[in-house]
C-alpha cells in the first residue's frame, strides 16, 4: 500500500525511487555510502527496500532512539538488536566472539570489563562474508561515546574489504560531523564516500503518487484537491502519505490536515532546539517571516531581544539550523516547518 505510514520494505509499496535504489545497490562493495535527505523524504524506506533486495546479508542498526550522551551500554544494546535482526543469516559468523553470545533468536553482548565485546573484532568477523552494515539516523551516534564506533568503522574501512557501511541521516550536517570527513582529528578524515541523495518528488510525481495511493483505496479524488495538497506538502513523501491517510479517513478539510501536520512539526522543532529555545525560535521566526539576509535576521533578533547580538552567536545558531537540515541559505527545506516556525513563541 502506497499510503502505509510505516517505512516501506517492499518495492511495490514504494513510489518510484528506482534510480536511488539502483545507485545504492550498485555501490555495495564500496566501504562507505551515505544516504541523505530531509526528514520524511523516504530514507528508511529506500534503505529497507534496497537491503531486502540484496543477495548478501545485512545488519540494520537503528540509532534513532539513541538519547544524547548515550552510554556504552545503550550503544551495545543497539548493536545487539541489529545483530539479532539478521541472526539467521549471520549466526555462523558470530560464534566464538569474545563478549557475544547467541541465545536462541537473540544476541547478547557484554559491554563491561575484560569480557567486553570489541567492535573491531566484531567487524573483522562479519568481514568473513560480503555484508552490509546499515546505520539509520547515524548522526545520533555523535557524542562523547562515538569514538569507539568511529575507530572501528575506520578500521573496517581500511581492512575489512567485505563490509560496506550505509549510513543515513536527516540532519545532514550532523551526519558529516559524525563521520568527520572534514575533521583532521577524526579517524575517518579524508575518506572517500558515495552519497545517494533523496530529493523531493516533482509536482507531477507527487500528484501521481497521491492519485495512485487513493486508487488503491478505491477513492477518486479531484485533481484540484491533489494540486492543493502538492502546494502544501511540496513533494515530501512523508507529508503526502500523511495527507493521503487523513483525507482517506474522511477529513475533507485540507487546511485542517495541514494544521495537524504543522503541529507535529512544531513539536519536532521544539525538541530539536531545546538547547536554546528562545534564540533558535527568534531566528526561525525571522526566516519564516521572510528575512533573507544575515543583517535582516540580526536586526530582527536585536529588535526582539532589545540587546545587541554578537556575530558569533548568530552564526552558530544559523550553522546549527543548517546542520539539522531545517534551513539552507535562509530558506526552509520543508514548508510545513516554515509554517510551524511562525507559531514559535
Ligand atoms: N517513495 C515513497 N513511496 C511511498 N511512501 C513513501 C515514499 N517515501 C516515503 N514514504 C512514506 O513517507 C513516510 C516517511 O518515510 P521514511 O520513514 O522512509 O522517511 P525518512 O526519510 O526515513 O524519514 P525520517 O527522517 O523521519 O526518518 C513513511 O510513511 C513512508 O511510508
Ligand atoms: Mg527514517
Q: Residues 104-157: pLDDT tens digits?
A: 999 999 999 889 999 999 999 999 999 999 999 999 999 989 999 999 999 999
Q: Give mean pLDDT, residues 184-213.
A: 96
Point out the ligand nearest to the CA of residue 20.
Answer: 1
Using one digit for the tens of pLDDT, what is the confidence trace for 8-36?
999 999 999 999 999 999 999 999 999 99
> Looking at the predicted structure, is the pLDDT value of residue 318 above 80?
yes
> Looking at the predicted structure, is the pLDDT value of residue 270 above 90?
yes
The DSSP annotation for 62-120 comes to EGGGPPTT--HHHHHHHHHHHHHHTHHHHHHHHTT-TTEEEETTEEEE--SGGG---HH
Using one digit for the tens of pLDDT, what is the confidence trace for 202-227?
999 999 999 999 999 999 999 999 99
136, β-bridge pairs: 62
* 42, 229, 235, 326: residue to mutate for ligand 1 pocket, most atoms within 8 A of CB: 42
Q: What is the pLDDT of residue 345?
A: 73
Q: What rounded mean pLDDT belongs to the chain? A: 96
* 216, 238, 324, 337: residue to mutate for ligand 1 pocket, most atoms within 8 A of CB: 238
Q: What is the pLDDT of residue 344?
A: 87
Using one digit for the tens of pLDDT, what is the confidence trace for 30-65?
999 999 999 999 999 999 999 999 999 999 999 999
* CA distance linking residue 268 with residue 189, whole number of Å: 31
Q: Give mean pLDDT, residues 175-187.
A: 91
| Closest ligand 1 atom number to CA of residue 37 | 21
Rounded to 5°, angle at Cα 199 from 197 and 201 = 150
pLDDT-based confidence at 341, cuts 50/70/90?
A: very high
| Domains defined for the chain, CATH in brackets | 17-197 (3.40.50.300), 203-342 (1.10.10.10)
Amino acid at each position: 500500500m502506497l499510503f502505509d505510514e510505516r517505512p516501506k520494505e517492499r518495492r511495490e509499496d514504494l513510489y518510484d525511487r528506482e534510480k536511488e535504489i539502483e545507485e545504492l545497490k550498485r555501490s555495495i562493495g564500496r566501504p562507505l555510502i551515505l544516504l541523505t535527505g530531509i526528514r520524511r523524504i523516504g530514507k528508511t524506506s529506500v534503505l529497507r527496500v534496497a537491503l531486502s533486495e540484496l543477495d548478501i546479508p545485512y545488519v540494520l542498526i537503528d540509532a534513532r532512539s539513541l538519547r544524547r550522551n548515550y552510554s556504552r551500554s545503550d550503544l551495545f544494546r543497539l548493536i545487539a538488536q541489529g545483530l539479532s535482526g539478521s541472526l539467521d543469516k549471520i549466526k555462523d559468523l558470530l560464534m566464538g566472539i569474545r563478549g557475544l553470545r547467541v541465545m536462541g533468536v537473540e544476541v547478547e553482548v557484554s559491554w563491561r570489563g575484560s569480557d567486553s565485546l570489541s567492535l573491531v573484532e566484531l567487524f573483522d568477523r562479519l568481514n568473513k562474508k560480503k555484508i552490509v552494515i546499515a546505520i539509520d539516523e547515524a548522526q545520533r551516534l555523535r557524542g562523547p561515546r562515538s569514538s569507539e564506533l568511529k575507530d572501528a568503522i575506520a578500521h573496517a574501512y581500511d581492512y575489512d574489504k567485505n563490509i560496506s557501511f550505509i549510513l543515513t541521516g536527516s540532519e545532514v550536517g550532523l551526519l558529516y560531523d559524525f563521520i568527520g570527513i572534514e575533521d583532521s582529528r577524526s579517524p575517518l578524515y579524508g575518506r572517500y564516500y558515495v552519497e545517494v541523495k533523496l530529493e523531493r518528488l516533482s509536482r507531477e510525481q507527487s500528484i501521481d503518487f497521491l492519485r495512485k495511493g487513493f486508487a488503491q483505496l478505491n477513492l477518486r479524488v479531484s485533481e484540484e484537491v491533489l494540486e492543493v495538497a502538492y502546494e502544501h506538502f511540496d513533494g515530501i513523501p512523508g507529508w503526502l502519505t500523511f495527507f493521503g491517510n487523513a483525507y482517506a479517513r474522511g477529513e475533507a478539510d485540507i487546511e485542517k490536515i495541514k494544521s495537524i501536520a504543522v503541529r507535529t512539526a512544531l513539536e519536532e522543532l521544539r525538541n530539536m532546539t531545546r538547547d536554546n529555545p528562545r534564540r533558535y525560535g527568534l531566528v526561525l521566526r525571522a526566516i519564516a517571516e521572510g528575512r533573507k539576509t544575515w543583517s535582516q535576521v540580526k536586526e530582527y533578533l536585536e529588535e526582539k531581544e532589545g540587546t545587541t547580538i554578537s556575530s558569533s552567536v548568530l552564526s552558530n545558531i544559523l550553522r546549527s539550523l543548517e546542520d539539522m537540515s531545517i534551513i539552507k541559505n535562509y530558506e526552509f527545506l520543508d514548508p510545513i516547518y516554515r509554517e510551524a516556525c511562525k507559531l514559535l513563541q
